[in-house]
């Protein structure tokens, strides 16, 4: 399954939820494409990778498609998420309703700062960093036989300052975490079997800034003279 397709499956899932809300029974690739912000050809190609069969002349069954994608994404059982770092960002993440509604559960909040210990955020108690390993070990992914020292199935979220991130990452990995979402602005070093995805807010702004600059240059300056040819 192409990585680009995997990245779009959550979008389809979200669009399908909205369509199901509206009482739709089936969806055509055209409608689904509009809701997800892609082209219809893209939708059909992506769904063909699922082995999913729509009905020609009709479309795809909303409920079955939803179930298939959920299953493919491993969302059938609520996956455990452990958030490290309960600062501004950690608070926002812990309080974000989208996690729970998308099939995840916050299984732990951990912070370095003793003053935060015991605080309750999003219904979960903040625990000291020392409890990290224990927290990860306590999570079993239901339906998956836990192999000792194998992947735990837990997703670790790093919301600490950059200086602390690699240390936290090492501990997560040692505890058996093989999926990490990193908000700290640095490149984490991890073993090859560990997946890291990164979200860097200032990088996003800088990309937007690039395009803005180009627009500004276009609008503010005299158009370039025609090339000699």
Footprint on this chain of its own copies (rule: CB under 8 A): 6-7, 9-11, 13-14, 35-37, 72-75, 79, 81, 87-89, 91-93, 95-96, 98-99, 101-104, 141, 144-145, 147, 150-151, 153, 155, 178-181, 185-187, 193, 195, 197, 199-216, 219-220
Q: Rounded CA gap, 183 and 161, in Å?
A: 9
Which partner in its own copies, DNA, none is near 98 (CB below 5 to 8 A by kind)?
A: its own copies
- Report the nearest approach of DNA to the CB of residue 65 (Å): 10
Pick the closer one to its own copies by CB: 5 or 26: 5
In the complex, minimum distance from the CB of residue 1 to DNA, in angstroms, rounded to a whole number: 9
Nearest-angstrom CA–CA distance, 46 and 9: 8
* Helices (H), ranges, 109-227: 132-138, 162-174, 201-220
Cβ 117 to its own copies shortest distance, Å: 20
The crossing angle, in degrees rounded to 10, of helices 29-36 and 40-48 is 100
96 makes contact, choosing from DNA, its own copies, none, with CB < 5 to 8 Å by partner type, with: its own copies
Given DNA, its own copies, none, residue 203, with its beta carbon under 5 to 8 Å by kind, binds its own copies
Q: CA torsion, points 42, 198, 196, 66, in degrees to nearest 10?
A: -40
CB 116 within 8 A of CB 90: no
Q: Are the CB atoms for 156 and 182 separated by under 8 Å?
A: no
Cβ proximity to its own copies: between 24 and 186 the closer is: 186
Residue 207 touches which member of its own copies, DNA, none, C-beta under 5-8 Å by kind = its own copies
Per partner kind, with CB cut-offs from 5 to 8 A, the member of its own copies, DNA, none near residue 229 is none
Least distance between DNA and beta carbon 13 (Å): 17
Count of CB atoms situated within 10 Å of the CB of 150: 12
* Distance in angstroms (rounded) separating the CA atoms of residues 118 and 143: 31
Give least dist CB 87 to its own copies, A.
Answer: 8
Please choose which of DNA, its own copies, none residue 181 contacts, taking the beta carbon within 5 to 8 angstroms, the exact cut-off set by kind.
its own copies
Report the nearest approach of its own copies to the CB of residue 118 (Å).
Answer: 20
Query: Apex CA 100: angle with CA 102 and CA 96, to 5°?
Result: 105
The distance of Cα 203 from the centroid of its chain, to the nearest Å, equals: 17
Q: Which residues bind DNA (CB under 7 A)?
A: 2-5, 27-30, 38-42, 44-45, 47-48, 52-60
Tell me the two tokens of residue 1: 């399954």
């Amino acid at each position: 399954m192409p990585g680009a397709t995997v990245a779009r499956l959550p979008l389809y899932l979200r669009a399908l939820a909205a369509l199901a809300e509206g009482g739709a029974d089936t969806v055509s690739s055209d409608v689904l494409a509009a809701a997800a912000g892609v082209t219809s050809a893209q939708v059909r190609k992506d769904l063909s990778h699922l082995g999913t069969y729509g009905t020609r002349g009709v479309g795809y069954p909303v409920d079955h498609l939803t179930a298939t994608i959920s299953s493919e994404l491993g969302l059938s059982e609520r996956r455990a998420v452990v958030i490290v770092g309960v600062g501004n960002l950690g608070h926002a993440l812990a309080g974000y309703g989208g996690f729970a509604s998308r099939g995840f559960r916050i299984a732990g909040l951990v912070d370095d700062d003793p003053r935060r210990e015991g605080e309750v955020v999003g219904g979960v108690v903040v625990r000291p960093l020392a409890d990290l390993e224990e927290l990860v070990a306590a999570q079993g992914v239901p339906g998956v036989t836990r192999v000792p020292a194998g992947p735990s199935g837990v997703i670790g979220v790093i919301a600490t300052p950059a200086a602390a991130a690699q240390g936290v990452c090492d501990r997560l990995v040692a505890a058996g975490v093989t999926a990490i979402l990193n908000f700290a602005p640095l490149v984490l070093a991890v073993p090859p079997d560990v997946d890291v995805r990164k979200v860097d807010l200032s990088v996003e702004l800088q990309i937007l800034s690039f395009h803005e600059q180009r627009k500004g240059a276009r609008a503010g300056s005299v158009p370039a003279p025609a090339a000699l040819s």
